[in-house]
Amino acid sequence: MSLDDSPFADHLGTNYVPSDAEVAEIRSLLAGPEDDLASLDAEIEALERALMELREKREALKQPIDAHRALISPIRLLPLDILAEIFLACLPSKREALIDDSKAPLLLGRICRSWRAVAYSTPTLWSSIHIPWEYDCPPAILTRLEAIVEAWLRRSAACSLSVSLVVPYHAADIAADSKGHKLILQVLSVSGRLRHLGLAGDPEFIAINCLNSSISSADAFSVEPLQVSTLEHISLIARNVDPLALPINWSHLTRLRLECEGRQGMNGGLEGGLVLDAALDVLRRASNLVFCHLQRAEPNLLHRLPRLLPHIRTLTLTDVVLQRWISQLVAPNLCYLQIGSTSADAEDTGLSVVADVYYLAGNAFQELLQCLPSISHLRLTGDYYSLRRLDKAYIASLYAPYKLCPSLTHLKIYTADLSDGDVLELAEARIAMPTPLKRLEIDLSRSMEVDLIPELESFIAHGLRVDLSYQQRQWEFHPPHGLQHHIWEPMYYS
């Protein structure tokens, strides 16, 4: 009998307990099908053995084929100069190359002898390096790191260099240990070729090693690395440092990044930070800056920025809460302004502004729009839990009768607290401008109430691209809410 016609079909998958007679009947019923199953298993096993044998034969044939194909692979036939260009394309474009065997350029020297020869004879492949120096680095590892840096810089030949160096915090405590200074000395030895220099760490140690003459190897400090005329980019991440104390030719700089970390104070909070009062004087001297990034600046100091920054194209201010905008700022070539940590790509045309409203308090937002009428791309980011909500009152300057930003073509608002009517009114106000809005993207901090797209069809027909998204906030039930920890925690008695 086939199991398809089993008299026990109604009991399958249940908790039914068969009687002794039914158990015997079930065993008799399974005898034939179990023999068939064993036969199928044996057949499958035989087929799998045959398949394994075929795979082994295939692999034995494939290996010599692949080896011969490798001899005629296109990469082997490339001229060496083309191969070198491919190697250069493997380097990171937005940071210095890492001392990492799994990444270019070190990886390229580990593939084969011919690739290693090309890599080691291409100086531009070694023209950037990030040197991480940790405070607790074991001596053997530090010695190995110094050897790698020495070979790296030697391979760069006479190329201009981009170097970033992380100096360990509290490194001033080991300033008397000359062994710990070799990495600094290696950078100093190529200071005449530096084009970009990034320093991060304890400025007390940087000062001891770069500015003072207290180190026994005095000859090594005859050229100060920050003062060479080839240096165009500087990134300084440090604690309590006065930029003006550094021997930098500010007028040569085109890119400047100043960040600070405060020290942990006795009360548990952060104390100190980058002395940006002096940094503002730096900006006055660095008249050729194209890129400037300031972090954790004091707002009252920002209002002492130089009146004219003729070449500046990118200005970013992070961790700075502004009550007023820097009204005296004149930057005719500014293409990208960032306020807060949220970033975006600069557009090809016009002025792009990316702002977190947490950092624009008081009248700062309206004043910013008034001072920068050329804004073409505006991106605003809010926070659902922030005291400053991205509601109609906050962005009233974009509505009638103000209608600021006459050149605005792209508007993105994230975590917006706007009603459906506010969205429609905003679209109507901006589409009626002499330069009509081309794209409106709004992320609303609520769930959808009405589908607005049909009501926006008339604006869409005039070329407006609309993208509305909603945040679905689901309320969750928490059974222990309100209980003190000691009430519901299990208790044990002796």
Phi, psi of 493 (to 5 degrees): -115, 145
How far is residue 97's CA from residue 94's CA, in Å, rounded to a whole number? Answer: 9
Do 382 and 415 touch, CB atoms closer than 8 A? yes
φ and ψ of 92, to 5 deg: -65, 145
For the chain, helix (H) and strand (E) counts, in that order, are: 13, 15
Cα separation, 494 vs 488, in Å, equals 19
Cα–Cα distance, 67 to 61 (Å, whole number): 11
Contacts 24+ apart (CB under 8 A), 447-451: 447/471, 447/472, 447/473, 449/420, 450/420
Q: What is the pLDDT of residues 160-201, one digit of tens each?
A: 999 988 876 554 444 444 444 688 788 878 888 888 888 776
Gap between the Cα atoms of 374 and 444, Å rounded: 26
Going by the DSSP 8-state scheme, the letter that residue 115 receives in this structure is: H
d(CA 155, CA 126): 6
Residue 158's DSSP bridge partners are none
Distance between CA atoms of residues 465 and 410, nearest Å:
9
CB 340 within 8 A of CB 297: no
Six token digits for residue 480 = 């222990």
156 class by beta-carbon count within 10 Å (0-12 exposed, 13-18 middle, 19+ buried): buried
User: In this structure, what token pair is assigned to residue 119?
Assistant: 């890599």
Would you list the DSSP string of 358-425?
GGB-TTHHHHHHHH-TTEEEEEEE--TT-SS-BSTTTTGGGSTTT---TT--EEEEEEE---HHHHHH
CA 265 to mean position of chain CA atoms? 29
In tens, the pLDDT along 54-70 reads: 999 999 999 999 999 98
Contact 168, 202 (CB under 8 A): yes
| Helix, strand or coil, per DSSP, at residue 293 | strand
Distances (CA, A) of 261 to 153, 210, 298, 353, 462: 30, 21, 13, 26, 50
| Contacts with 52 (C-beta within 8 Å, 6 or more apart), sequence order | none
Per-residue confidence in pLDDT tens, the chain, 494 aa: 678 889 998 999 999 999 999 999 999 999 999 999 999 999 999 999 999 999 999 999 999 999 999 889 998 889 999 999 999 999 998 889 999 999 999 999 999 999 999 999 999 999 999 998 877 788 888 889 999 999 999 999 999 999 988 876 554 444 444 444 688 788 878 888 888 888 776 554 544 344 332 222 333 333 355 555 567 787 776 666 556 666 677 778 888 887 765 555 555 544 544 444 555 566 677 778 888 887 765 555 555 555 678 888 998 888 777 777 877 778 889 999 999 888 777 777 789 999 998 888 888 888 899 889 999 999 998 776 665 678 888 888 888 777 788 999 999 998 888 899 999 999 999 998 989 999 999 998 888 888 899 999 988 988 899 999 988 766 677 777 666 554 444 444 44
- State yes or no: cis peptide before 138, omega within 30 of 0: no
Query: What does pTM read for this prediction?
Result: 0.65
CA-wise closest residue to 201 among 261, 247, 154: 261
pLDDT in tens, 207-255: 434 433 222 233 333 335 555 556 778 777 666 655 666 667 777 888 8
- How is residue 60 written in tokens? 């034995």
164 phi, psi to nearest 5 deg = -120, 135
Is the link from the previous residue into 105 a cis peptide, with omega within 30 of 0? yes
